[in-house]
C-alpha cells in the first residue's frame, strides 16, 4: 500500500499539531497538509506508538465514530482509559434535522437468535448522526483539546450536497483545535435519504467533487470513511486519495435486516411495529472488513506505492488484539473500534493493547511498522494458486523419484539424495 515503508519526509519534531494544521504542498513533492510519513518508534519491548499523517498516538487503537464519541463525558473517559485517538460522533450544521428513534439496536447471537443465550456476533443499528446542537459539540471539542492538548481528537463530519455548507462546517470544526477530520461518506441508513453519507460514497463522480471542496478548504489531515455497500470499494478509495485525502478508513457498517420476530412477524429493531434496514457490525463482519481493507491496501500499494504520507484505518468487528493485528498485517496504520466499546466498555483498550503486545512478542516485532502490511504479498489470484500448487506437486514428485541426472548430486545433501532413490 502507500505507506508500507516508513520515511520521514519533512518537518521537525516540534509541535506536530501545529505543523499539520499548516498546508505545506511544494510542487516538487506535493507533501500536502502533513509533513511526516507513517512512522513508529521502536524498542526491544513491543512499542505500540504510531505516528500517522503527522498525528502522534500512544497506540493504534482509535474510538470509531458513533455513540462512544457522542459527548465530552464519554470522550474524556476514552482518553483517560488510554485510547490512541478519539473520533467524535458525526456532526452536521443543522442537528434539528436529525431525529432518532428507540429502540434503534438489534443483536444477533450465535445459535438460536432471539434467546438470551449465545455469544453476540452481530449488531445492527438504525441510529443517525449526532442529534446534539453543533455549537454544543464544538464547545466540547475545544474543551477536550484544552484538557488533553497532546491527545488526538478527530472530528467526523457530514453535510448535504452544498459546497458552502461543507466549507462552513470544516471551518467551524477546525477552529476548535481538532487534529484531523474524518468525512462520513458511508452511513448506510437514514442519511442517504437526504443525499448524505453512503449516497456520496457510492457515487464516485459526486465523491470526487465533494472531496475537492473539502480538501481545498481543510488545513488538517482528512480521512475518507468508505462504505462497504458497493461492488468495488477500491474505486471510491482511489477517488478520495486522488482528490487530496490523506487517508481512508474502512469499513462502515453493512446494510442489513437483522431478522424477523417469528411470533409477532415484525422486523427488528421494531419501532411501533415497523423497522428500516440498518447498519450491521460486530464480530460477524470482521472477515468482510478484512477483505475490503485488503483490496484497498493492495490498490494503494500498487498505485500510490511511494506516497508514504497516505494512511489506512481498519474498522470492523475488533474485540481482541488478534483482530487488530490482522488489520495491521493487511496494511492498516490504525484500528478503529465502536461496537466493541458499546459491548465491552472503554477499558477494552487495555485488553487490546496487552494482546497485541503478546502477538508482537511471539514474532519478535518491536514496532507496529515491523509487521504492517506483511501479509499482503500472500494474496494472489485463483489462477496463480493453481499454478503454485501444480508446481509444488511437480517438485514433490521429483523428490520422490530421486535425482534425474548425475549433475544433480550435491555434496551437502549426498546422504539424503542417496536415500531418495532407495526402494525399501
Which of 298, 310, 174 is closest to 241 using CA atoms? 310
Rounded Cα distance between 130 and 144, Å, is 17
Rounded Cα distance between 324 and 93, Å, is 34
pLDDT reading at 42 higher than 70: no
CA dihedral 77, 83, 89, 93 (to 10 degrees): 90
Q: Give yes or no for a contact between 331 and 1, defined as CB atoms under 8 angstroms apart.
A: yes
For the record, the C-alpha cell of 213 comes out as 471542496
pLDDT at residue number 188: 81
Q: Give yes or no for a contact between 109 and 121, defined as CB atoms under 8 angstroms apart.
A: yes
CA angle 66, 69, 70 (to 5 degrees): 85
Average pLDDT over residues 104-119: 80
pLDDT reading at 256 higher than 90: yes
Q: Give yes or no for a contact between 259 and 106, defined as CB atoms under 8 angstroms apart.
A: yes
In this structure, of 81-90, 113-122, 226-235, the range with the lowest mean pLDDT score is: 113-122
Q: Give yes or no for a contact between 38 and 52, defined as CB atoms under 8 angstroms apart.
A: yes
Cβ neighbors of 278 (< 8 A, separation 6 or more) are 104, 106, 124, 125, 126, 188, 189, 253, 255, 256, 257, 258, 269
pTM (predicted TM-score): 0.85
Average pLDDT over residues 41-60: 88
pLDDT at residue number 116: 67
pLDDT at residue number 406: 82
Res. 204 pLDDT band, cuts 50 70 90: very high
pLDDT reading at 288 higher than 70: yes
Res. 202 pLDDT band, cuts 50 70 90: very high
CA dihedral 43, 48, 49, 53 (to 10 degrees): 120
Rounded Cα distance between 39 and 351, Å, is 24
**How does pLDDT run across 370-404, given as a tens digit for each residue?**
999 999 999 999 999 999 999 998 888 776 666 66
Tell me whether residue 187 is one of the annotated catalytic residues: yes
pLDDT reading at 56 higher than 70: yes
In this structure, of 20-34, 255-269, 322-336, 344-358, the range with the lowest mean pLDDT score is: 20-34
Res. 114 pLDDT band, cuts 50 70 90: low
How many C-beta atoms surround the C-beta of residue 136 within 10 A?
Answer: 14
pLDDT reading at 120 higher than 80: yes
**How does pLDDT run across 210-233, given as a tens digit for each residue?**
999 999 999 999 999 999 999 999
Q: Give yes or no for a contact between 50 and 59, defined as CB atoms under 8 angstroms apart.
A: yes
User: Which one is catalytic: 187, 211, 245, 338?
Assistant: 187
Amino acid at each position: 500500500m502507500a505507506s508500507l515503508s516508513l520515511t520521514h519526509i519533512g518537518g521537525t519534531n516540534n509541535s506536530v499539531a501545529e505543523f499539520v494544521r499548516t498546508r505545506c504542498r511544494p510542487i516538487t513533492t506535493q507533501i500536502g497538509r502533513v509533513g511526516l510519513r507513517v512512522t513508529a518508534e521502536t524498542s526491544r519491548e513491543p512499542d505500540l506508538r504510531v505516528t500517522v499523517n503527522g498525528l502522534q498516538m500512544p497506540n493504534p487503537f482509535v474510538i470509531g465514530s458513533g455513540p462512544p464519541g457522542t459527548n465530552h463525558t464519554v470522550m474524556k473517559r476514552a482518553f483517560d482509559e488510554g485510547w490512541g485517538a478519539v473520533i467524535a460522533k458525526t456532526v452536521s450544521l443543522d442537528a434539528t434535522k436529525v431525529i432518532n428513534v428507540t429502540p434503534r439496536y438489534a443483536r444477533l447471537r450465535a445459535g438460536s437468535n432471539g434467546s438470551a443465550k449465545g455469544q453476540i456476533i452481530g449488531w445492527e443499528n438504525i441510529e443517525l448522526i449526532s442529534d446534539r446542537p453543533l455549537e454544543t459539540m464544538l464547545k466540547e471539542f475545544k474543551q477536550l483539546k484544552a484538557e488533553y492538548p497532546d491527545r488526538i481528537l478527530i472530528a467526523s463530519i457530514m453535510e448535504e450536497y452544498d459546497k458552502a455548507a461543507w466549507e462552513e462546517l470544516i471551518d467551524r470544526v477546525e477552529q476548535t483545535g481538532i487534529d484531523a477530520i474524518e468525512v462520513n461518506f458511508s452511513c448506510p441508513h437514514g442519511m442517504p435519504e437526504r443525499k448524505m453519507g453512503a449516497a456520496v460514497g457510492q457515487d464516485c463522480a459526486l465523491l470526487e467533487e465533494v472531496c475537492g471542496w473539502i480538501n481545498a478548504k481543510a488545513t488538517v489531515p482528512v480521512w475518507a470513511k468508505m462504505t462497504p455497500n458497493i461492488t468495488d470499494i477500491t474505486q471510491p478509495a482511489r477517488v478520495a486519495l486522488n482528490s487530496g485525502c490523506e487517508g481512508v478508513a474502512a469499513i462502515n457498517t453493512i446494510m442489513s435486516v437483522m431478522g424477523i420476530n417469528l411470533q409477532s412477524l415484525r422486523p427488528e429493531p421494531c419501532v411501533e411495529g415497523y423497522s428500516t434496514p440498518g447498519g450491521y457490525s460486530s464480530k460477524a463482519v470482521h472477515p468482510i472488513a478484512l477483505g475490503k481493507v485488503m483490496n484497498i491496501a493492495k490498490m494503494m500499494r500498487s498505485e500510490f506505492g511511494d506516497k508514504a504520507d497516505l494512511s489506512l484505518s481498519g474498522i470492523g468487528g475488533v474485540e481482541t488484539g488478534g483482530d487488530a493485528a490482522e488489520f495491521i498485517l493487511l496494511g492498516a496504520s490504525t484500528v478503529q473500534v465502536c461496537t466493541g466499546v458499546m459491548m465491552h466498555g472503554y477499558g477494552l483498550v487495555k485488553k487490546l493493547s496487552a494482546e497485541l503486545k503478546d502477538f508482537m512478542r511471539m514474532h519478535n516485532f518491536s514496532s507496529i511498522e515491523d509487521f504492517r502490511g506483511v501479509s499482503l504479498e500472500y494474496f494472489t489470484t485463483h489462477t496463480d494458486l493453481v499454478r503454485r500448487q501444480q508446481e509444488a506437486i511437480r517438485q514433490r514428485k521429483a523428490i520422490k523419484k530421486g535425482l534425474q541426472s548425475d549433475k544433480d548430486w550435491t555434496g551437502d545433501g549426498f546422504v539424503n539424495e542417496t536415500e531418495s532413490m532407495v526402494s525399501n
